[in-house]
Structure 1
């Protein structure tokens, strides 16, 4: 561990930020080399005469900048400064070899949006309409923002909509909360896939919905299981992710979508369709476009354009729009208008389309890397998804595999995280392919996992 102490003399602003700035300077001038282990929070706090909390904030700030990374049980290490070559917007400088490859989340980087953001904010700052963006917006969003959302969803997701049925939210998780609150009450039964997006599990727990999982196969929700659940449980809604299902990355065929919509209409059940990954597959028509009368559609720009904008959309049947708007008012009054203004400008000038196209290309490239390294028998999911489902062969058990992968420097998410209720979770893991900062880092993590799959005797290590 280095005895590094930052020089804070003459640095303005909060102490934690001054420490992060000093760390950045010392990395840039070569005083701290990549891979250097930094002092512990307590040790550095003592040397600087500040609180441990200040050091924690400083290290967190430095990690956000990509300067350092923490490793469980080992400490905090310098990663160096990342850069973005103009020829390849996704070609970040790899982290140093000792760092953990994190595949637990499906959060793509959006490096193309970084330079765009500065120019866009400058243009907004010079706009005579800036003042309007600092006031409360209408509950459903400003008309121009709703119109741009309708254009985006129609162009990139093939949604059947217009500005008057699009309502703005703060990201997809907020859109899910709004959609469900518009059609269900605490205690009501809400159906979802037996394995589902973790976000709906946490949302249902907080809001008091009775979440019930129904059977899925390689094509998504099984119609007979949905029909049976409707008859037995009288649910208010079915939440589902038909395109790039989370976690299995499957895509529901068109005929299955028509069948699911018909069952929902037969029993008066509202479909809450989560289509955040829909931009990755242009030939997958949303259920909303098939049955807009029984579908509340939710989406966001997080996977396609920029996660930090927190711009989400709800598309509701016309009769339900007032109810959705009332829920938005109750939960948050309205979405902050500045992020949707950025999104609207990018949608209008084509920037958002260029970023989404780059994301599609990167997703397919990373899938190709994964499928060239991992055994084909274990890989499930669509070949252009930002994640994949890895089915573990015998004798691997999910918890043993996760623990051994982490011991070797790779973090993955177990299938139990996505299981609804007491349903038995498969011995499988989800891999977020888009989160590692470079293709080389991804490949390194995948080779580690492939080695584990090819040497299952390691699974016996935890058995005594």
Structure 2
């Protein structure tokens, strides 16, 4: 173990971040080569005259940047230089580099059934007489046969009734979301969203220059009065929301609340952008699109129900907005790749996609039951059919301390601050992705770590000065 002591002179900001910055500088300069074992939390805290909690947060920040990695029973070590180029992303993680860690930051479903089906499907596509069509530029909105297949899928799995003419293909839900917002807003325009929202919406707004405003939510989703007030004050172009299995809280907006939101949007001339990527998990209530198809741009994908890697997403737009959505698709990507869409269309036609979706529903329910058998009932929030859950931390736990302590124990979760919009204060809660660990055994191991961490609040007190 090295006797490393960081140079903190002249460094501004929180102490834990200054320590992480000093560590980054020493790794970059070669003072701390790959494989160096760092001082323990307590030793470094004593040397610097800070709390152990401060060192825990510093090491967690350094680990997030890819600088270091911990091994239970052995200590904390400097990682190789190749990790330094990885982007700072709260959901980035490499199982090859961290095999002992249970990653519950992402919501990525099991894909073994699709992996088994892909080879035969690709072989059949390769033998098809019209394969050349899949190697050419597609129409901007997608091939007619693919749009028709998606329309059938939406009716069967998402309770969305539409025609192929209103369906436009995208490259995953994130791209569909970007296309939908760009069709109705310009840089500088106000776009509303829930106070806690999908991280992808935050990154999109930052890149495209939208003025994102978070509005209040409760256990049922967007609060109608808060939405109405924001419409009066801010003249927004759109409200982006995830009413079914809200990301991150896993709540489901009741039908009556959906009608209220639609009525307010229509009254103020605001377009609703409904993200229904989790909609296949429950039969009721129906999407807002079914209530107000004339003012709703509906976005979804096959990422949670069939396969994340296919990157097959779709937009259902009101007829007057179809040309604008299509123009955005052309500008951003010309068209979505037809080969993945062909795979999806064949699976929809032969019933394979429905079988895959049913497996995901069953697996999500089983993992929810597992989670609720391990975690304290009074801290678990969210719908029991969701692929994730929302863990509201009891006193004295604070969000950052709990995330850092869980990471130290080899369980990765996502703090509520990642989803907070603007300067809105995030609750002391974390999102737990249940379907990303490769097995239920791995998930159980991670959940037991969280339960044990909750039962040891003395770790939470270490950061209090």
TM over 0.5: yes
- Mapped to 2, the partners of 1:242 and 1:227 lie a distance apart of 17
Residues 288 and 297, structure 1, Cα contact 8 Å, conserved in 2 = yes
SS at match of 2:360: helix
SS at match of 1:308: coil
Aligned to 1:382: 383
SS at match of 2:168: strand
Aligned to 1:424: 425
- Mapped to 2, the partners of 1:382 and 1:342 lie a distance apart of 31
SS at match of 2:245: coil
Residues 160 and 292, structure 1, Cα contact 8 Å, conserved in 2 = no
Aligned to 1:290: 291
Q: Describe how 1:103-182 pairs up with structure 2 within 5 A.
A: 103-182=104-183
Residues 178 and 327, structure 1, Cα contact 8 Å, conserved in 2 = yes
Aligned to 1:326: 327
- Mapped to 1, the partners of 2:392 and 2:337 lie a distance apart of 42
Segments of 5+ residues of structure 1 without an aligned counterpart are 1-40, 44-69, 77-93
**Matched pairs, number:** 381
- Mapped to 1, the partners of 2:98 and 2:201 lie a distance apart of 36
Q: Deviations over 1:133-152 (max 9, x none)?
A: 00000000000000000000
**Shift in Å at residue 283 of structure 1?**
1.4
| Shift in CA distance, 337/98, structure 1 to aligned 2, threshold 3 Å | closer
Q: Describe how 1:3-402 pairs up with structure 2 within 5 A.
A: 73-74=76-77, 99-402=100-403
Residues 288 and 295, structure 1, Cα contact 8 Å, conserved in 2 = yes
**Shift in Å at residue 160 of structure 1?**
2.1
Aligned to 1:463: 464
What TM-score, normalized to structure 1? 0.80
| Shift in CA distance, 319/424, structure 1 to aligned 2, threshold 3 Å | same
Residues 95 and 441, structure 1, Cα contact 8 Å, conserved in 2 = no
SS at match of 1:285: coil
Residues 363 and 384, structure 1, Cα contact 8 Å, conserved in 2 = yes
- Mapped to 2, the partners of 1:160 and 1:321 lie a distance apart of 16
Q: Deviations over 1:223-273 (max 9, x none)?
A: 000000000000000000000000000000000000100000000000000
| Shift in CA distance, 457/42, structure 1 to aligned 2, threshold 3 Å | closer
Residues 380 and 391, structure 2, Cα contact 8 Å, conserved in 1 = yes
Aligned to 1:415: 416
Segments of 5+ residues of structure 2 without an aligned counterpart are 1-32, 36-68, 80-94
- Mapped to 1, the partners of 2:99 and 2:157 lie a distance apart of 39
Residues 71 and 99, structure 1, Cα contact 8 Å, conserved in 2 = no
Aligned to 1:38: none
- Mapped to 2, the partners of 1:230 and 1:96 lie a distance apart of 47
**Shift in Å at residue 462 of structure 1?**
3.0
**Shift in Å at residue 97 of structure 1?**
11
**Shift in Å at residue 452 of structure 1?**
1.3
- Mapped to 2, the partners of 1:107 and 1:71 lie a distance apart of 24
- Mapped to 2, the partners of 1:300 and 1:442 lie a distance apart of 25
Residues 34 and 78, structure 2, Cα contact 8 Å, conserved in 1 = no
- Mapped to 1, the partners of 2:98 and 2:310 lie a distance apart of 31
Residues 190 and 238, structure 1, Cα contact 8 Å, conserved in 2 = yes
Residues 34 and 77, structure 2, Cα contact 8 Å, conserved in 1 = no
SS at match of 1:292: coil
**Shift in Å at residue 98 of structure 1?**
7.0
| Shift in CA distance, 318/364, structure 1 to aligned 2, threshold 3 Å | same
Choose 194-203 or 95-104, whichever is displaced more. Answer: 95-104
- Mapped to 2, the partners of 1:97 and 1:323 lie a distance apart of 44
- Mapped to 2, the partners of 1:109 and 1:323 lie a distance apart of 35
**Shift in Å at residue 461 of structure 1?**
2.4
- Mapped to 2, the partners of 1:278 and 1:312 lie a distance apart of 14
**Shift in Å at residue 95 of structure 1?**
11
Q: Deviations over 1:379-398 (max 9, x none)?
A: 00000100000000000011
Residues 70 and 408, structure 2, Cα contact 8 Å, conserved in 1 = no
SS at match of 1:186: coil
| Shift in CA distance, 294/115, structure 1 to aligned 2, threshold 3 Å | same
What TM-score, normalized to structure 2? 0.80
| Shift in CA distance, 230/448, structure 1 to aligned 2, threshold 3 Å | same
| Shift in CA distance, 136/263, structure 1 to aligned 2, threshold 3 Å | same
**Shift in Å at residue 42 of structure 1?**
7.7
| Shift in CA distance, 98/159, structure 1 to aligned 2, threshold 3 Å | closer
**Shift in Å at residue 447 of structure 1?**
0.8
**Shift in Å at residue 71 of structure 1?**
5.8
RMSD of Structure 2 on Structure 1 (CA): 1.9
